[in-house]
Amino acid sequence: MTDSTRPNWNAGDEDVIHGHVKWFDAARGFGFVVSPAVDRDILLHINVLRNFGQGSIGDGSGVALRVQRSERGLQATEVLEIEEPDITADLPKDGPIPDYLQPIDDSLPYLPARVKWFDKAKGFGFANVFGRTEDVFIHIEVLRRFGLADLAPGEAVCLRAVDGARGKLALEVRRWEYFIE
């Protein structure tokens, strides 16, 4: 949509735009959102995402943003909502589904945990549940399933875990603030 079709859209004005994350790189501190409502990509800075309570966001996640047009283009000023991406499209059509992508039993409790380490390049990491000694394995696809892209050492999260073949396995990981809102 161009400025000429948006008579009330002036530099400095803000609108709420719904779109999805094209890509986001927490190490670089920014990424971009695309939306059919605007004619160009929307810059999403990590500080705007952190104000929402997240340090990363998964590619393909749906978002509602407050957006401002500036001399440099469109920029998100506030994240209003994040919708997890649909990962079912990426599941194998034939053959077994990986353990970490199994359906989640609603009776599993959410456990408070702290990230021990996570390596995005390797695609996995570990967290420690408060008051317990065993590590919980976290696969990157579990993060993507819930709209996250990365975890930082020491970051507080809530997770649901089951006993896997090699120990505790996270099936769901949420940002700590998810339960405070």
Which domains occur in the chain, in start order? 3-83 (2.40.50.140), 98-179 (2.40.50.140)
Per-residue pLDDT tens digits for 45-102: 999 998 888 888 888 888 999 999 888 889 999 999 888 766 555 555 666 767 777 7
Q: What mean pLDDT comes out for the span 166-181? A: 81
Asked whether the predicted pLDDT for residue 180 surpasses 70, the reply is no
Pick the more confident residue, 125 or 88: 125
Output the CA torsion sign for 151, 137, 115, 176: positive
Q: What mean pLDDT comes out for the span 129-155? A: 89
CB distance 120 to 140 below 8 Å: yes
Asked whether the predicted pLDDT for residue 170 surpasses 90, the reply is yes
Q: What pLDDT band is residue 10 in, cutting at 50, 70 and 90?
A: very low
Q: What is the pTM of this model?
A: 0.59
- Residue-level pLDDT at 95: 66
Q: How far apart are CA 164 and CA 170, in angstroms?
A: 9
Burial-class residue 31 by CB neighbours within 10 Å (0-12, 13-18, 19+): buried
- Which 3 state secondary structure label does DSSP give 104? coil
Of the candidates 157, 150, 155, which has an alpha carbon nearest to the alpha carbon of residue 174?
A: 157
Q: What pLDDT band is residue 150 in, cutting at 50, 70 and 90?
A: confident
How would you classify residue 150: left for phi > 0, otherwise alpha for psi between -120 and 50, otherwise beta?
Answer: beta
**159 CB-near residues (< 8 Å, 6+ apart):** 110, 111, 113, 127, 129, 136, 138, 170, 171, 172, 173, 174
- Residue-level pLDDT at 13: 56
Q: How far apart are CA 136 and CA 128, in angstroms?
A: 6
